[in-house]
Every structure is written in C-alpha cells, then in structure tokens.
C-alpha cells in the first residue's frame, strides 16, 4: 500500500519554489498498545473530562485553551489567536542556510520525513536540487502539527529526507548530570589499548535491518499464547557480573573472542519470553 502524504507545500531555495509532499519516514505501529481495564470485570475504563468547580462532566465543545500566567490565573486563547501567529512556513519550507551534512549533532534530531515532488512538473526541479545538495544539509523552518519546527533537509537515495530538529534551548547541557562529575578525566593508556582491541573485535559493516525489537516480539508471543490458552514460561534472567577489575574483564573478553565464542551483538538486552507449547488442562 502506497504511503499517504501528511503535508503539502513548497520547498524554497532562494527564488526556486518546488511543490512537494511530505511523508512520515518512520512507522509508529511498532509499539503494542494496551487499554486500561477494571481488573474485576475487565471492562474498559472511561476517562471523563470533569470540572471540579461545576461538579459535572464537560463536553469537548465547552473546552477552551488557557495559558497559566500565575498560579490559578489563566488567559484564554481562541482559534483566531492561533491563526494570527501562523508564520509563512505553514506552507513553505524555506531553506536559509547550507552546511556540510556532518555538521548536525544527532542529539538535535527529532523525527524524519520523506519529501517528494508534488506532480510531474515539479519532478525535474526536485531532482536537480536533490543532486545539487549532495554532501550538504539545508536548514530552514516549517510549521507542522500546531508548532514551528527547525528542520534539516538533505538528499537521501532517490529522494530527499527532512529531519525536524530540537532548538538549542530544548537541549539540556550535559553538566546537569551530576553523576558525571565523578568520572575520571584521565585513564591509563594500557586500559585504553585493551578497550580498543575489544571494540575492534566487534567492528564491521553496519546493517540496522539485522536488528529486531526482541522485547516487542517476546511480548507479542506472550499475548498470542494467552489468547490460545497456552502456558507462558518466563526465561531465566542472568545477573550481569560486577566489574571488579577492568583490565581482567577486558582480557577475558579478548580471550573469549579468540576462543571462537564471539557472539553477534543484539539490538536489545532483554531476552524474549519463551512460550511453552503446552495447553492448560
């Protein structure tokens, strides 16, 4: 099934305006969702919108948006107020700067979207700008889902990918993590050498397609087993040994690899629950 565009507008680079469509690049359906039930009768719980002042339930039509500027005091904003602050970028991705594609720290990246030309006429200009941006990333702004985003745009395979970015003010400084104050600033050269040797034994071409969400698969297996009336047996979880001597742990790691016992690294540390194929009596 072909993807559906979630946004239409223009990609603007100087005086060039390219009609485009925006498609989500990630699939949100990977997460297993649950409903809250009353354990006694397994009836789904209802969450009602209640006004404690009027002591009654209120409908969606009675609800307005308010900003709390002092404790217990609000200013109410109407839909017209929101319309008045909508910037030009509601329909235009205006790229105002270009830089090397390695210039963006991954910590700023939020979500990914694919860009595609909107109609045959836009295809040629789209392809020219895609190839012209090779090795570069464009920075601009876009209003999407009720807020304005900082975005990065760069070529990706036969199309263009756009990342919504966090603003610098949204990124917490690493200094707020007090536990890092106790981390040593200098380490022994022989320890670094051994650590690099261990890391090199796992070095290889990266293919993220080989990694699976083992937690989700295990949870789905449990759900399927319960539906089928089968017994669920939880796996034995081994406790990781504490590192008492780092050098000894590094040497043992190298010995394990040299003995042919190296195992492929997995995406998640949580082992999937095993399901015994024994039906309950």
- Statement: residue 276 has pLDDT above 70: no
- Statement: residue 185 has pLDDT above 90: no
User: What is the percent of the chain with per-residue pLDDT over 70, rounded to a whole number?
Assistant: 81
CATH code of 185-279, in short, is 1.10.1600
Higher-confidence position of 241 and 53:
53
Nearest CA among 16, 148, 164, 54 for reference residue 104? 164
Residues spanned by CATH 1.10.1600 within the chain?
185-279
Residue pLDDT, tens place only, 112-168: 999 999 999 899 999 999 999 999 999 998 876 667 789 999 999 999 999 999 999
pTM exceeds 0.85, yes or no: no
Residue pLDDT, tens place only, 75-119: 998 887 776 666 555 688 989 999 999 999 999 999 999 999 999
- Statement: residue 205 has pLDDT above 80: yes
State the CATH architecture for 7-27+85-168. Beta Barrel (2.40)
Q: How far is CA 97 from its chain centroid? A: 25
Give the whole-angstrom CA distance, residue 6 versus residue 112: 13
Angle between helices 246-258 and 189-201 (to 10 degrees): 30
Residue pLDDT, tens place only, 8-37: 989 998 888 999 999 999 876 667 888 999
Residue 54 tokens read as 């009027």
Residue 74 tokens read as 């609000």
Q: Cβ distance 215 to 273 under 8 Å? A: no
Backbone angles phi, psi at 209, to 5 degrees: -70, -20
């Amino acid at each position: 099934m072909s993807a559906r565009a979630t946004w239409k507008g223009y990609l603007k680079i100087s005086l060039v305006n390219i009609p485009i469509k925006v498609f989500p690049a990630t699939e949100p359906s990977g997460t297993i969702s649950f409903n809250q039930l009353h354990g006694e009768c397994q009836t789904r719980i209802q969450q009602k919108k209640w006004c404690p002042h009027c002591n009654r339930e209120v409908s969606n039509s009675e609800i307005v948006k308010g900003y709390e500027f002092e404790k217990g005091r609000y200013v109410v904003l109407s839909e017209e107020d929101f319309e008045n602050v909508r910037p030009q970028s509601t329909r235009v991705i205006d790229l105002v700067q270009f830089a090397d594609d390695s210039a963006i720290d991954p910590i700023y990246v939020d979500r990914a979207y694919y860009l595609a030309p909107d109609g045959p006429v836009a295809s040629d200009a789209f392809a020219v700008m895609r190839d012209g941006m090779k090795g570069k990333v464009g920075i601009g702004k876009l209003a999407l889902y009720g807020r304005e985003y900082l975005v990065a745009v760069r070529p990706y395979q036969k199309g263009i990918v756009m990342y919504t970015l966090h603003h610098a003010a949204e990124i917490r400084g690493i200094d707020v993590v007090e536990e890092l104050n106790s981390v040593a600033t200098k380490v022994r050269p022989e320890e670094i050498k051994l650590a690099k040797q261990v890391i090199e034994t796992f070095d290889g071409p990266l293919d993220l397609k080989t990694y699976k969400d083992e937690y989700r698969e295990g949870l789905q297996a449990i759900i399927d087993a319960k539906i089928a009336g089968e017994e669920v047996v939880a796996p034995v979880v081994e406790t990781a040994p504490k590192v008492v001597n780092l050098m000894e742990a590094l040497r043992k790691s190298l010995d394990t690899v040299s003995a042919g016992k190296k195992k492929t690294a997995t995406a998640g540390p949580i082992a999937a629950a095993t399901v015994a194929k024994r039906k309950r009596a």
